[in-house]
Chain A
Amino acid sequence: MKYLDEYRDPQAARKLLDEIRRRTTRQWTLMEVCGGQTHGLLRYGIESELDGVIELIHGPGCPVCVTPLEAIDFAQQLALRGDVLLTSFGDMLRVPGSQQSLLETQAAGGRIRIVYSPLDAVELARRHPDTEVVFFAVGFETTAPATALAVKHAFRDGIDNFSLLVSHVRVLPAMELLAQSPQNRVQAFLAAGHVCTITGYESYYDFADRFQLPVVVTGFEPLDLLEGILAAVTQLESGRSCVENCYSRSVRSEGNLIAQDIVREMYEVCDRPWRGFGTVPQGGLQLRDEWSQFDAAKRFNMNLSLPVIDDARCRSADVLAGRIKPTACEEFDRDCTPDRPLGAPMVSSEGACAAYYRYRNPQQVTSGG
């Protein structure tokens, strides 16, 4: 299939692997920021091929994983009101809240519907004027333009029964938090290709300079990932730390200006608690005051005063910050599986724990598969 097969060619991948091994003189520690990259690395066996050559630490780039418990709990309250139809991407439904997941809320009578685009949620609002339709707006800079557009369409068409429960996050502030940490071991970042498609990578120049860390904009297919790793290793071996684009078929340095404009028009930067991370300064987006009528948190009086706490056994905070590998968690594949997850990273299609569970080596399977 065009645009896929050429980036999955095993022979080309082997060549790149050989080149990475040849250039590497010591075991460097790289972080792939995005969970989609983590899944690619494990699905195609790149992680195990580079075992002992490069250490890959899995980053926090799983928007579903970092969505705060409070937001999930509030979404559940909305779904159970009766007059609200909560719409969401499918990924969000199995993520455990403090009591239950949205899927369980649905089984208990909550009104929840999976949509594939925020514009579908606007369409639902148009067709059901007696129902308050709320879209659970999670995601990085990649999904924010679409949710901003949804609000704009709703406003343009006079649809006043539509709102967003906004939990958008921004990736660069989280990378800064990681890089500043005294425990940081990451020596180079593979930046998330799809985020950079929107934001561009000019904002990374200052980051790379300040922390003296290479940043390589990297895609998601096996060859994309290997090229990203090779570029990072090449920089590290020659003592450089600059921003490099290895995903040029999708990313331009300035990004998508139209998407940036609409995000800026509707949203403003805010501090945001990330699940497992604590508050990330400037780590989120919220609707601007002039659009507050579309803000479900304001419309339905979301009460943020009650802090909720994750299951104490779950080490997702350590996983998301790259301090441990998912398999180092005592509960991995024991009390925590995708069917009965303790934390969000075991559920999401971008979660690191789910990636390790799904693509684990048969030798590591303890429960007999």
Chain B
Amino acid sequence: MLAHGEGGRLTRRLIRERILSAFGNDILESMDDAARLPAMNGQLAMTTDSFVVSPLFFPGGDIGSLAVYGTVNDLAVSGARPLYLTVSLILEEGLPIVVLDRVLHSLAAAARRTDIRIVAGDTKVVPRGVADGLFINTTGVGQLLETPPPGPTALQAEDELIVTGSIGRHGMAVLCAREELLLQSSLQSDCGPLWEPASLLMDRLGTRLRCMRDATRGGVAAVLQEWAESSQLTLEIEETRLPVSPEVRGACELLGLDPVHVANEGTMVVAVERDALGDALSVLHSHPQTCDAVRIGRGTERKLAAVVIQRGLGSPQPLDDPLGAPLPRIC
């Protein structure tokens, strides 16, 4: 009901019975207007993201786990240990309570798994038709490591490019889970946390690690385009090296999509100094979330195009933005 978001008794009951019981911790349970956090040494990192995925539940995840991992991963690839999270819910009137409960428990489980504490939140209910079931915003605070990776401006020619798992799984799992698309498939989203492998990588490689980025909307292609722009290098990849599962490939072929443009939610692109490639791969292979990591290409001095891909027989071609149908909401 709308009244659940109006701040009165119903709101308090919703928060107490549903939300606190799912997320409960001492900071949240004080129910103050602002969360009080302990003092910390060093720099903080902060990020925010909103999640509007449709459908709410998809093979391999749901909007709840996605809302945690999405924000955790943004902190992780920036070199920050995830510590605190805020969760804001926008609920469409009429959303079944069982759906809300399922999402809240998924949020809570994902937060426990990544060791991040949910310390503040907000709940609004909007009239039916104004939102699509449930939207979530999360803001994450993390503690920046002393020497986080320098970022894409530090990329140099000869640096190696790695992708940490088979690509396109999230986008295709969500697409195929939509009710309109009657594709039977065993596709699973890669939705998952990247902090552990990211931190292992930073420990082992130090400054030989240039940058990391989770390849969400726009896929691996979008990350490479941004990095090429920041570094003024040309990034070269080879199509045959891109790890793509037969399920993703089949679905992409059918729908005319290129996996390099399809979203991931637990897979990152990593750039490392050339002689650190072996170390980086062995670290990544030791963690289940990134055990399928492979080298996909490298940086070179700037040529005419920012990102080029070698396909088939001919010379490398510029990697372009996706054409054709826009994808539905996937994150």
Contacts and interface: CB of A to CB of B under 8 A. Distances in A.
B97 interface: no
Interface in B279-312: 303-308, 311-312
Interface size range of chain A in the complex: 35 or more
A101 to B, nearest CB: 11
A360 B312 contact: no
Contacts of B98: none
B247 to A, nearest CB: 10
B99 to A, nearest CB: 20
A361 B315 contact: yes
B313 A17 contact: yes
A90 B326 contact: yes
Contacts of A120: 180, 182
Contacts of A91: 324-325
B312 A13 contact: yes
Contact of A44 (B306, B311, B321): B311
B102 interface: no
B304 A363 contact: yes
Contacts of B255: 116
A93 interface: yes
**Mostly helix, strand, loop or mixed at chain B's interface?**
loop
Interface size range of chain B in the complex: 20 to 34
A4 B253 contact: yes
B150 interface: no
Given A93-B325, A354-B323, A365 B305 contact: yes
B317 A360 contact: yes
B313 A347 contact: no
A155 to B, nearest CB: 22
Contact of B305 (A14, A222, A362): A362
Interface in B243-284: 246, 249-250, 253, 255-256
Given A43-B312, A361-B317, 19 more contacts: A1-B246, A1-B250, A8-B312, A13-B313, A44-B312, A44-B314, A45-B313, A45-B317, A49-B313, A49-B314, A93-B325, A114-B325, A115-B180, A339-B321, A349-B323, A358-B320, A362-B308, A362-B316, A369-B306
Interface of A: 1, 4, 8, 10, 13-14, 17, 43-46, 48-49, 89-91, 93, 103, 113-117, 120, 222, 338-339, 347-349, 354, 357-363, 365, 368-369
List the 10 shortest-distance A-B pairs measured between CB atoms, nearest first: A45-B314, A90-B325, A44-B312, A369-B305, A362-B305, A45-B313, A369-B306, A349-B324, A362-B304, A358-B320
12 contacts: A14-B313, A44-B312, A45-B311, A45-B317, A46-B312, A48-B315, A90-B325, A91-B324, A113-B180, A116-B180, A362-B318, A363-B304
